[in-house]
Structure formats: C-alpha cells, structure tokens
Amino acid sequence: MSLIQCTNDCKFQKDGYCNLEKAGLLSDTSCSGEKKDCLYYQARQPQTAAYTPQEPGRL
C-alpha cells in the first residue's frame, strides 16, 4: 500500500491515499492538465445504477 496522500477524484484514490500498485500509463507528462500534482491521474468513472427488472404489471 502506498503512503502517498491523495484527495483527487481519481480512480486510484482510496481512503485518502493513492492505491496505484505500479507505474502505468502516464496521463499527462507535462503536468499541465486538470490535476497538476499527479502524472498518473485518471478520472473516476461515474457509477451507474444497477438494472433491476420490475415485477410484471408494475410500473
């Protein structure tokens, strides 16, 4: 586990720390993007509600 504190809305952030296991694809090598403090920042994907079928005859 990494001890790098992180408050970005990143897919690697978990419980206030960076959870990146190993160096991966650099998202911005110039650090000029949205999150200038992290080369590996990747926006978290919005969660979608799980599909739950309705009972027949109910709306």
Would residue 55 count as lying in a domain?
no
Residue 42: predicted pLDDT: 83
Would residue 49 count as lying in a domain?
no
User: What pLDDT, in 10s, does the model give residues 6-59?
Assistant: 888 888 888 989 888 887 666 666 555 555 578 888 888 877 766 667 777 665
Would residue 57 count as lying in a domain?
no
Would residue 52 count as lying in a domain?
no
Would residue 59 count as lying in a domain?
no
Q: What is the pTM of this model?
A: 0.54
Residue 41: predicted pLDDT: 82
Would residue 58 count as lying in a domain?
no
Domain assignment of residue 31, given as a range: 1-44
Q: What's the CA dihedral at 7, 38, 21, 3 to 10 degrees?
A: -50
Would residue 9 count as lying in a domain?
yes
Residue 55: predicted pLDDT: 73
Domain count along the chain = 1
19 contacts 12 by C-beta, under 8 angstroms? yes
d(CA 5, CA 26): 19
Would residue 50 count as lying in a domain?
no
